[in-house]
Amino acid sequence: MSAYKWLRRNVGQLLYERRYGVRTAERVDLADIGLDGEDRVYYAALNWRALRKALPKTEVSERDVFVDFGSGMGRVIVQASQYPFGRVIGVELSQELTEIARQNVRNMRVRRRCGEIELIASDVLDYAIPDDVSVAFFNNPFRGRIFSEVVNRLIASVDRAPRRVRMIYGNPLEEPYLMSTGRFRHLRTIALKPDPLGPPFGTIRTYDLLPK
């Protein structure tokens, strides 16, 4: 990347951070905080423009519950708070990153439209998925066995409490497993272009979780 492009992108990040009053831009390698392990992935924040492209606000009501699996410093939580969700939940392995996310939620300068915000420091495999979750968000936070286990638990939740669930998946490397379950239908794909106001581009896909 040229110095000019690097400068434009990082200045853009800082402008968004200042506008929202948060700190979310750093990349964090789990090895640096003693949490690396098989199938775990480093923290890198989603492009600031991505969620609103993947999930139009007109598709959300106060009956909806949003969960970000691997919520990190809370950038997506801050964005989700601008939707009329009944609850917004972040689940993050790192206590340190969860505390940063809580501070970001306290400090954010934009008007909050959602109801309750809950930030939980927990291994996702120890987290009981609520049976009212209707939007599940993954920014490639884990892969392999961890991903398949969480997906299977999400499916089990829908089987216990039938409802519509949409899954939003950034950088969907485990899509082959997802589709192999026979329970997901692709709704839309957002291919993010190189953006001077955010992280490097990528792909975000949205799916419906089908009833049994």
Give residue-wise pLDDT tens across range 175-205. 999 999 999 999 999 887 554 444 445 789 9
Q: Look up the pTM and report it.
A: 0.88
With contact defined as beta carbons under 8 Å apart, do 138 and 166 qualify? no
pLDDT band at residue 13 using 50, 70 and 90 as cut-offs: low
* Range name among 36-40, 58-62, 69-73, 154-158 with the lowest pLDDT average: 36-40
DSSP 3-state helix, strand, coil percentages of the chain (rounded to 5)? 35, 20, 45
* Residue-range definition of the domain harbouring residue 57: 3-209
| Amino acid 28: pLDDT | 86
CA 83 → CA 60, 62, 120, 146, distances in Å?
7, 9, 20, 28
pLDDT tens by residue, 134-176? 999 999 999 999 999 999 999 999 999 999 999 999 999 999 9
CATH at 7: 3.40.50.150
- Report yes or no: 208 and 55 within 8 Å, Cβ to Cβ: no
CA dist 100 and 1 (Å) reads 29
- The helix (run of H) or strand (run of E) holding residue 154 is helix 144-160
- Tokens at residue 142, please? 């884990």
Q: Report the domain count for the chain.
A: 1
